[in-house]
A and B are shown apart, each in its own frame.
Chain A
């Protein structure tokens, strides 16, 4: 018998707590899974943005873990108190706890989550594969406001705790129908914050800088998905990652009809299917390598 568990743990101070702001955990209790996927959400987001993707992966036979990152899923004050080290430590700790339970362990994420996954791969060489969606190593998308040139002033002075970028159209989504739904949910503060505090952007940029510096330490196979029309970060981030990582196996998919939130946009099916292709290819390669090793041993 298979048991699917979707659990919500933790109290949230946010206005409404109907959705999976805090925690999504999907695992099988009795049947041996194909492997596990740990996913991280984006900056000021929540596990909600990964929910459908997580279910899709679960239905394909994987245990899926999507945790709410420190400072998220509750009040805005919390995110102001969080440093990028807190995110790194959280990811590392969670990974260390879960990794021994699975032979295949994939790590992925969207936006900040992708950066965090890359950081984790720089420190841990036993990750089976990385799934980086809309990796945000540079903030240079087309919705970055005109007064962006003042950002260094804001970032490096006390203003970073006062400065906020209100979340606005298109909310990272090209599909108007989905955008409408997300917009309504955002107004209720149930799926993501309705603004980006500059202090959180400061921490994201600090993490991105760190990841860029050590990116050559990434050896894990990787799938990079980025949209040409990403409103928050251009394809520069994806191309930088693709060019500089040391992985022997890397795939890059460029989307043409989506914005930043690729998991909810027009080409989500493509992303889902590509992820499975990537995972299957790795499993296939892994099986081949194992067979080769066994054959060699047999011959000896």
Chain B
């Protein structure tokens, strides 16, 4: 479980950095569609891993009856879809930063879980 949390921290960090680099450097009009396509696939894979791990960790905490952690983790699972639902092309930049903010929060929370792992 600790290993999973470490992986989750790494993936979370990668997501924050990659999304930030993406909007600053990659997703520009002069970038070729191919580069943008591959970069978005990379982001999708990261997001897929992040969501899969979050749900596994959430279920783990739920099964172990540590109910205080699960709701936060489930929230972090739902947030990307909720944000995606409310985003339009005009508000994209704002919502991307909001998404990065949520990833930062989830990173802090997962670090907190990792730091307190011995008490579980």
- Which residues does A use to contact B, with CB under 8 Å? 76-77, 80-81, 147, 150, 153-154, 156-167, 194-195, 198-199
Render B23-40 as a binary contact track against A, CB cut-off 8 A, 1 for contact.
000010100011011011
Contact A158 B92 (CB under 8 A): yes
Residue numbers in B under 8 Å from A157 (CB-CB): 47, 80-81, 83-84, 99
Nearest neighbor of B86 in chain A, beta-carbon distance: A158
Contact A166 B41 (CB under 8 A): no
Contact A161 B47 (CB under 8 A): no
Residue numbers in B under 8 Å from A165 (CB-CB): 37
| Prevailing SS type, chain B contact patch | helix
Residue numbers in B under 8 Å from A166 (CB-CB): 33-34, 37
B65 within 8 A of A: no
- Which residues does B use to contact A, with CB under 8 Å? 22, 27, 29, 33-34, 36-37, 39-41, 43-45, 47-48, 51, 80-81, 83-85, 87-90, 92, 95-96, 99
Contact B43 A159 (CB under 8 A): yes
| Prevailing SS type, chain A contact patch | helix
Contact B33 A163 (CB under 8 A): no
Q: When the two chains form the complex, which single residue of A150, A158, A161, A194 contacts B45, counting CB atoms closer than 8 Å?
A: A150
Residue numbers in A under 8 Å from B40 (CB-CB): 154, 159, 162-164, 198
Contact B90 A163 (CB under 8 A): no
Residue numbers in A under 8 Å from B89 (CB-CB): 77, 80-81, 161, 199
Residue numbers in B under 8 Å from A195 (CB-CB): 33, 36-37
| CA–CA, A77 and B90, complex, Å | 10
